[in-house]
């Protein structure tokens, strides 16, 4: 029988996913010999074209403060989400998919690099140049990244990730679903504590 798969549905520009980052990293270490953990880019706000309003900015920053208070993850609030910022999460998701296509071992590293750049450093991770620079820090050639990032292949693969999330019934991020054979077991929705998630995984694996 194939090894179990823990599907991790997330978006690099989802603040609760940033809050959940230490949990998923711990799970990847703790369960690496028992199951595969696979990342699915969920698409929080893909294709957004309208600049953020002041009210929208305040609402998102409110969530950021909640995430920081609950998880202790670092945020840079000064200058965050500047005037004119378009909160389109498709480029960041596509960047993760692109790096995964060039080097599958780096998909989680790229995801985390984008999260840290956006939340802790205040960088604009909707910009291809910023994303290429982040890929380069992982050893990926920046031009090779940009060429692949701008391809129809990368766009199609990214849309396939979004479809997989919708078909799995995922409506919010982060979310975890355990697959054993053809059986799917919901593990967690939202930013849950490590002990809670581990107990659900262990129950699912035992079943």
Say what the pLDDT of residue 60 is: 96
If DSSP codes are grouped into helix, strand and coil, which group holds residue 38?
A: strand
Cα R_g (the chain), whole angstroms: 17
Domain ranges of the chain: 5-202
CA distance 132 to 149: 9
CATH top-level class of 5-202: alpha beta
* pLDDT tens digits for range 38-73: 999 999 999 999 999 999 999 999 999 999 999 999
| Token output for 34 | 């028992």
pLDDT tens by residue, 148-157 = 999 999 999 9
User: Would you say how long the chain is, in residues?
Assistant: 207
For residue 19, pLDDT beyond 80: yes
Read off the tokens for 154.
């990368």
Q: How far is it, in rounded angstroms, from Cα 198 to Cα 28?
A: 11
Mean pLDDT, rounded, for 7-28: 98
The DSSP H or E segment spanning 22 is: helix 15-30
Q: State how far the Cα of 187 lies from the Cα of 167, in Å rounded to an integer.
A: 16
For position 2, what pLDDT does the model report? Answer: 81
Overall pTM surpassing 0.75 (yes/no) = yes
Strand order in the sheet with 36-41: 36-41, 5-10, 175-180, 183-189
Residues 19, 10: Cα–Cα separation, whole Å: 11
């Amino acid at each position: 029988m194939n090894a179990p798969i823990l599907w991790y549905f997330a978006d690099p520009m989802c603040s609760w996913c940033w809050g959940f980052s230490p949990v998923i990293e711990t799970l990847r270490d703790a369960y690496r010999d028992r199951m595969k953990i696979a990342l699915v880019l969920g698409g929080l706000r893909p294709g957004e074209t309208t600049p953020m309003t002041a009210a929208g900015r305040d609402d998102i920053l409110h969530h950021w403060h909640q995430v920081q208070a609950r998880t202790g993850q670092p945020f840079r609030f000064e200058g965050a989400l500047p005037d004119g910022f378009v909160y389109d999460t498709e480029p960041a998701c596509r960047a993760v998919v692109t790096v995964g296509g060039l080097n599958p071992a780096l998909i989680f590293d790229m995801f985390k690099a984008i999260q840290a750049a956006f939340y802790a450093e205040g960088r604009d991770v909707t910009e291809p140049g910023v994303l290429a620079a982040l890929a380069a820090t992982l050893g990926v050639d920046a031009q090779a990244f940009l060429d692949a990032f701008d391809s129809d292949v990368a766009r199609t693969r990214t849309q396939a990730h979004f479809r997989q999330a919708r078909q799995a019934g995922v409506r919010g991020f982060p979310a975890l679903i355990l697959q054993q054979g053809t059986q799917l077991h919901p593990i967690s929705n939202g930013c849950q504590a490590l002990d809670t998630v581990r107990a659900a995984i262990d129950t699912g694996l035992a079943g």
